[in-house]
Amino acid sequence: MELNISDIASQCITEINKKIKNLKNLNIIVAGKTGVGKSTLINYIFREQLAQTGIGRPVTQHIQMITKKDVPLTIYDTKGLELGRDTQKEIKGEIIDKIKEGLYSKDENKCIHCIWYCINTASDRIEEDEIEWIKEFTEDNKDIQVPLIIVLTKSFSKKKAKEFKDYIDSLNLPVCAIVPVLALDYEIDEEYIAKAYGGEELIEIMGELLGEELIPTLQNVQRAAVKQKVKYARGVVATTVTASFAEGFTPVPFADAALLVPTQVAMIASITVAFGLKVDKGIIASFITSILGTTGATLAGRSIVAGLFKLIPGAGTIIGGAISGGTAALITTALGEAYIRLMERMCLGEIKASDISSKEAMTEMKEIFKEELKDRK
Ligand SMILES: Nc1nc2c(ncn2[C@@H]2O[C@H](COP(=O)(O)OP(=O)(O)OP(=O)(O)O)[C@@H](O)[C@H]2O)c(=O)[nH]1
Ligand SMILES: [Mg+2]
């Protein structure tokens, strides 16, 4: 059995594209008065600078729909909540109508999945009319029950944000969560800059709130919570390994290492989609090449497994021409973990896509893979 790195990389790309195409669309309403930081929040949480570069289209008098090609996300941005009681009432009606429209369409891709109501923490007074609005809204929304999260925007002062949060908590509003966020670093003075935060918490809460089938989409579109991506990706690895190798520890004939490949391709594809990065064939090929420690385009299945086997400390010799399910699981886990590390570092800007084929990056990926094999034994 021969394996060709270029073919495997192509298979990964095909699988990635298939998974992206199958992602459900996530729909979020973002409401709040003008200037509270809705657009800044959207650009902080989601990739592609959606609020600036997305296509906006008015859907009602006060609701604007923002979308962008190849981002499975629709944001409904509301306008005019600062304009007084009558307008606020109109907006409430428009939002409820929008929710019902999605509901009656019976199309999961059109349903509103969540509402973020943004309140400015930095404003000096608690906005009573906003609290009133949320109360009335949640009353109207009682039967439909679209989850509402209060986002405390511009929370440069964590102390003030906590006080505000405690106050809103004490009102016992039927909201899912109250999350302080600073969406952009805030320069207090030259010496002190408050760093953006809150993305991890907001995405974690969204992850608990949304249905299982929307989680891959959430991870794909968000960019503010790399830890949540890693956590999700680790889940993918665990599920892959449990589903494929744990049962019965069926030995894998090592002359047929290619049998492992479709499973690992699917795993790599799911992880890639969760990180939402632009990954091309070259990146995947470099990754595989670095792990296998060879530059040959075509490899015999047998020699690959023998080579990988040597990397497992104290694994002994291969007996009877097969590796156990346990060993297959170990190799697959290490592969997944090494790939997650690569994606994580790309996300954090520590490795550039153009540098992945460099000798340093390749050596490092191999080291990570070897470490994973060691740690997990
Ligand atoms: N430093 C810092 N500035 C922020 C933050 N959020 C908003 N701003 C600033 O506040 C101003 C208003 O923010 P926007 O995001 O445009 O507010 P908006 O709610 O979209 O406003 P409208 O579109 O007019 O309704 C901008 O100058 C932002 O840069 C933040 O978290 N940190
Ligand atoms: Mg805006």
Domain(s) of CATH 3.40.50.300: residues in the chain: 32-221
Ligand 1 atom having least distance to the Cα of 184:
32
How many CB atoms neighbour CB 349 within 10 A?
A: 7
Q: Which of 10-14, 214-218, 304-308, 330-334 shows the lowest mean pLDDT across its residues? A: 304-308
Ligand 1 atom having least distance to the Cα of 79:
25
Ligand nearest to the CA of 35: 1
Report how far ligand 2's centroid is from the alpha carbon of 58 (Å): 13
Checking if the pLDDT of 367 tops 70, the result is: yes
Ligand 1 atom having least distance to the Cα of 36:
19
User: Token digits for 69?
Assistant: 């090609």
- Ligand 1, pocket residues at CB < 6 Å: 32, 34-40, 153-154, 182-184, 186
The predicted pLDDT at position 104 comes to: 93
The predicted pLDDT at position 257 comes to: 61
The predicted pLDDT at position 329 comes to: 84
Q: Which of 73-77, 232-236, 372-376 shows the lowest mean pLDDT across its residues? A: 372-376
Sign of CA dihedral 127, 129, 132, 137: negative
Report how far ligand 2's centroid is from the alpha carbon of 47 (Å): 16
Pocket test for ligand 1, best of 33, 34, 39 (most atoms within 8 A of CB): 39
Checking if the pLDDT of 248 tops 60, the result is: no
Checking if the pLDDT of 273 tops 80, the result is: yes
Architecture per CATH, domain 32-221, reads as 3-Layer(aba) Sandwich (3.40)
Provide the percentage of residues in the chain whose pLDDT is more than 70: 89
Report how far ligand 1's centroid is from the alpha carbon of 41 (Å): 8
Ligand nearest to the CA of 36: 1
Measured by CA distance, the residue closest to atom 32 of ligand 1 is 184
Ligand nearest to the CA of 83: 1
Report how far ligand 1's centroid is from the alpha carbon of 328 (Å): 50
Cα–Cα dist 47/82, whole Å: 28
Report how far ligand 1's centroid is from the alpha carbon of 24 (Å): 29
The predicted pLDDT at position 163 comes to: 94
The predicted pLDDT at position 188 comes to: 84
Q: Which of 19-33, 186-200, 268-282, 349-363 shows the lowest mean pLDDT across its residues? A: 349-363
Report how far ligand 1's centroid is from the alpha carbon of 153 (Å): 9
Report pLDDT digits (tens) over 149-164.
999 999 999 999 999 9
Q: Which of 106-115, 170-179, 237-246 shows the lowest mean pLDDT across its residues? A: 237-246
Report pLDDT digits (tens) over 45-78.
999 999 998 899 999 999 999 999 999 999 999 9
Checking if the pLDDT of 297 tops 70, the result is: no
Ligand 1 atom having least distance to the Cα of 44:
31
Q: What band does 178 get if pLDDT is binned at 50, 70 and 90?
A: very high
Beta sheet of 71-78, edge-to-edge order: 55-58, 63-68, 71-78, 26-31, 114-120, 148-153, 177-180
Q: Judge whether 55 and 67 are in contact, CB under 8 Å.
A: yes
The predicted pLDDT at position 326 comes to: 78
Cα–Cα dist 115/296, whole Å: 52
- According to the per-residue pLDDT averaged within each range, which of 135-139, 257-261, 314-318 is highest? 135-139
